[in-house]
Amino acid sequence: MSQILDHLFYSDSHEWIDPTNPDAATIGVSDHAQEELTDVVYLELPAVGRAVTKGEAIAVIESVKAANDIYSPVSGEIVEVNEALTEDPAAVNNDPYATGWMFRIKLSDPSELDSLMNAEAYRGHVG
């Protein structure tokens, strides 16, 4: 059973966001997503300073099975990326919510969080 953390919000495309710090909300892919992908071997992360819109494909994750886009669950500016993942992309598999986070974003419209799923709704989504 996939781990789904109660304090996070989730998108239909399986990204999670932790908006605890609105100046730099943290984003990654859910435990369910990394289980479906299996062994992550490569990540192409967005550039710091890039302005993104909600739903935009902004990164690529490659596993031994497939390559998939990662979509921004909110609009804003990329303020940090997890450079450690370029050396160790498997961190996404090992701990998608801690060492496997992908980037941080300064939200341009915090109300967009309202359109994301809470943990309970996401559990139903991946059911």
Residue 22: what pLDDT? 75
Class of domain 9-111: mainly beta
Three-state secondary structure call for residue 117: strand
Which tokens is 122 given?
């996401």
pTM score, whole prediction: 0.96
Average pLDDT, the chain: 96
Q: What is the pLDDT of residues 50-64, one digit of tens each?
A: 999 999 999 999 999
Domain boundaries, the chain: 9-111
Per-residue model confidence (pLDDT) at position 43: 97
At 66-116, the pLDDT tens digits run 999 999 999 999 999 999 999 999 999 999 999 999 999 999 999 999 999
Q: In what order do the strands lie in the sheet with 40-44?
A: 40-44, 57-63, 67-71
